[in-house]
């Protein structure tokens, strides 16, 4: 986004790259399923499957009554590895011999699949092809001359050329509640697409009319729409942002004083945990030196008083 803004202002000159490599794309509502694309691609080489999450069953329901599987503490249960007892996401306690709290049935129904579960399903669908799992804990490497299916989380994809690319969990990755979710999904997907050989097959788990699908098909790596949204929302790269956190009382007081100044845009304060609040201050690029001076001043006062009242994050990468 930052670079795109600089291209738009003319500060960086964009050199168009001629894209001679052609791929065949399939989408969620298209004719070919992900399995069909894998089957076709395996005839020509390795297949990479990109997924959002590690684990096996990250959220599951009771298979009989479809109630959510919860721990006694109210936390969601997850199954980290196949054939292991569910573990609570919040308190980490194990639920051996899990039974549904409502109907006492004991069969889980998985609604948020992790990569291990995907691997199990793919393995069943393609017996005889080795399925490898690559994630932040262990990045696998591919040797030449072997045909394999690799299932990987973002950033752990083995460097190789692929005959087929299956981009799963599109909705989930694109809609995560972080500022840069769309941007990072775009970046990741375009990066992976560049590793697919000429005439290779690519499956996108989004509907055909999704803006990202349309951009991928047109090989349009920039998104003016996302950039416009950022500008309208007064966010980076058009505004500079400082997140201030500290004790609720102190943050509230600070926010009141800032409001009187009326120099900056203020969002919050909002309570993030017990007695801890967060305040977001925004300013245009042109007036951002005022914000830097203000933060400098507060930090100076803090060091004179010898205690840290606030924590500052200036232009945090994500919000």
DSSP per residue, 40-65: HHHTTS-EEEEES--SSEEEEEETTT
**Backbone torsion region of residue 17, taken as left when φ is above 0, otherwise alpha when ψ lies between -120 and 50, otherwise beta:** beta
103 binds Zn ion (CB under 5 A): yes
Least distance in angstroms from the C-beta of 98 to Zn ion: 11
**Interface pattern 3-42 for Zn ion (x via CB under 5 A):** ----------------------------------------
Nearer to Zn ion, 7 or 73 (CB): 73
Q: How far apart are CA 120 and CA 118, in angstroms?
A: 5
**Least distance from C-beta 100 to Zn ion, angstroms?**
3
* Least Å from the CB of residue 271 to Zn ion: 23
- Residues linked to residue 271 through DSSP beta bridges, in sequence order: 277
**From 62, 142, 151, 179, residue interacting with Zn ion (rule: CB under 5 A):** 62
Dmax (CA) for the chain in angstroms is 70
Closest approach, Cβ 71 to Zn ion, in A, equals 3
Task: Pick the closer one to Zn ion by CB: 103 or 233.
Answer: 103
Least distance in angstroms from the C-beta of 94 to Zn ion:
10
Structural tokens at position 224: 């003016």
Q: Is the peptide bond before 272 cis (omega within 30 degrees of 0)?
A: no
Site for Zn ion in 75-94 (CB under 5 A): 75, 88, 90-91
Q: Is residue 106 within the footprint of Zn ion (CB under 5 A)?
A: no
Q: Which helix (H) or strand (E) holds 278?
A: strand 276-284
Closest CA to 204 of 220, 221, 185: 185
Nearer to Zn ion, 7 or 90 (CB): 90
* Residue 153 CB, nearest approach to Zn ion (Å): 25
- Closest approach of Cβ 73 to Zn ion, in Å? 3
Q: Which residues, 6 or more positions from 298, have their beta carbon under 8 angstroms from its beta carbon?
A: 310, 312
In terms of CB distance, is 5 or 76 closer to Zn ion? 76
Q: Is 179 in the site for Zn ion (CB under 5 A)?
A: no
64 binds Zn ion per the rule CB under 5 A: yes
Q: Does 133 bind Zn ion (CB under 5 A)?
A: no
Q: Which segment (8-16, 48-56, 102-110, 128-136) binds Zn ion by CB under 5 A?
A: 102-110
Total number of residues that touch Zn ion (CB under 5 A):
13
Cα torsion 229, 230, 234, 239 to 10°: value is -160
**Shortest reach from residue 55's CB to Zn ion, in Å:** 17
The DSSP secondary structure of 185-227, one letter per residue, reads HHHHHHHHHTTEEEEEEEEESS-TTSHHHHHHHTT----HHHH
CA distance linking residue 51 with residue 122, whole number of Å: 13
Alpha-carbon gap, residue 278 to 268, rounded angstroms: 7
Residues in contact with 29: Cβ distance below 8 Å, sequence separation at least 6, in sequence order: 207, 208
- Asked if 100 touches Zn ion (CB under 5 A), the answer is yes
Stretch that binds Zn ion, among 63-71, 117-125, 133-141, 159-167 (CB under 5 A): 63-71
Question: What does the binding site for Zn ion look like in residue numbers (CB under 5 A)?
Answer: 62, 64-65, 71, 73, 75, 88, 90-91, 100, 102-103, 105
């Amino acid at each position: 986004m930052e670079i795109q803004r600089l291209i738009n202002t003319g500060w960086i000159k964009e050199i168009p790259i001629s894209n001679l490599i052609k791929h065949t794309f399939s989408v969620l509502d298209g004719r070919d399923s992900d399995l069909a694309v894998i089957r076709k691609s395996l005839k020509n080489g390795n297949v990479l499957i990109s997924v959002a999450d590690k684990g096996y069953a990250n959220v599951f329901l009771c298979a009989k009554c479809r109630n959510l599987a919860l721990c006694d503490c109210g936390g969601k249960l997850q199954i980290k590895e196949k054939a292991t007892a569910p573990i609570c996401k919040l308190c980490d306690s194990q639920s051996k011999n899990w039974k549904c709290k409502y109907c006492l049935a004991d069969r889980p129904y998985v609604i948020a699949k992790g990569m291990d579960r995907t691997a199990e399903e793919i393995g069943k669908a393609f017996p005889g092809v080795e399925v490898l799992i690559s994630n932040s804990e262990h990045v696998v490497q591919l040797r030449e001359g072997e045909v394999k299916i690799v299932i990987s989380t973002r950033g752990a994809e083995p460097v190789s050329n692929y005959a087929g690319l299956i981009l799963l969990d599109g909705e989930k990755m694109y809609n995560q509640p972080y500022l840069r979710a769309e941007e990072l999904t775009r970046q990741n997907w375009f990066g992976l697409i560049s590793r697919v050989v000429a005439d290779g097959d690519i499956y996108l788990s989004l509907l055909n009319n999704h803006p990202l699908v349309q951009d991928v098909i047109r090989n349009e790596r920039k998104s003016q729409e996302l950039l416009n949204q950022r500008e309208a929302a007064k966010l980076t790269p058009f505004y500079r942002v400082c997140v201030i956190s500290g004790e609720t009382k102190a943050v509230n007081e600070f926010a009141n004083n800032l409001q009187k100044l009326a120099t900056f845009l203020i969002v919050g304060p909002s309570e993030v945990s017990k007695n801890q609040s967060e305040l977001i201050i925004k300013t245009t690029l042109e007036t951002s030196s005022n914000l830097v001076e203000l933060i400098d001043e507060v930090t100076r006062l803090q060091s004179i008083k010898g205690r840290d009242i606030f924590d500052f994050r200036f232009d945090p990468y994500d919000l």
